[in-house]
Amino acid sequence: MIAKLIISTIAVNAATAALLFAAAGTWRWPQAWILVIEMAASGFAVGLWLARHDPGLLAERLAPPIQRDQERGDKIFMMCIAVLWIGWHILMALDAMRYRLSHVPAWAQCIGALLILLSMVATFLTFRANSFAAPVVKIQEARGQTVVTTGPYRYVRHPMYAGAILMFVGIPLLLGSVYGLALAPLWVVLLALRIPMEERMLKEKLDGYGDYATRVRYRLIPGIW
């Protein structure tokens, strides 16, 4: 499991680096190096914690993004997300480095790096509370999935998605791309589209989720939605 974690983390971040530097036309881009190092380091840290404390969840997180028992709509969603994620990174590299169309001050780039770190903290807190936080929409019957109501789930029904919003803002800020930042709301919209689909499945197939959704009113942002 550790070997798979190492290989997967290196592969994902190496692909991200290759994509950014190829689109930028140079490897002399400190902000991109910071992003890759920050993502790799936090990924290793969370992954190693899971390997020790929750190997079942780690196995789910390392599984392919398209799975047999996954909801059909979620399979399509995941494929679209992959394409959009690649396109977003290419756009940010073209904007910030190759053509230098926009400028983000250094202090805002530092905030971006901090937001990415906070997003990873939110991810860790979610994993610590929820052993069933798989990346795909499905019920993990073999692992005895139950409704989770502790940790950040006391405040919102989808805390990992809430943390992801910080990353969607933090990445373009760190890379220095105003155009990338302008597309951040699109990611929030995509989450807002996935959440009802996910909750519909959970209410139908997971005992107690309907009652939990009644008690915890907000899906993503406390006091808003």
SS3 183: coil
- Alpha carbon distance, N-terminus to C-terminus of the chain: 37
pLDDT digits (tens, 9 = 90+) for 72-114: 888 899 999 999 999 999 999 999 999 999 999 999 999 999 9
For 114-147, how does the pLDDT look when each residue is reduced to its tens digit (9 = 90+)?
999 999 999 999 999 999 999 988 899 989 999 9
1 or 189: whose pLDDT is higher? 189
Taking residues 188-196, what's their average pLDDT? Answer: 94
CB 220 within 8 A of CB 198: no
Please give the structure tokens belonging to residue 103: 């400028």
Cβ distance 191 to 161 under 8 Å?
A: yes
Q: What is the pLDDT of residue 137?
A: 85
> 141-160 pLDDT, tens per residue?
989 999 999 999 999 999 99
Mean pLDDT of 162-170: 97
How many other C-beta atoms lie within 10 A of the C-beta of residue 32?
Answer: 26
| pLDDT interval class at 170 (50, 70, 90) | very high
HSE-CB for 25 with a 13 A CA cutoff: 8
- The pLDDT of 195-201, averaged and rounded, is 94
Tell me the domain boundaries of the chain. 66-215
38-71 pLDDT, tens digit each: 999 999 999 999 999 999 999 999 998 888 877 7
Q: What is the pLDDT of residue 69?
A: 77
Residue 18 host element (H or E): helix 2-24
pLDDT at 91: 98
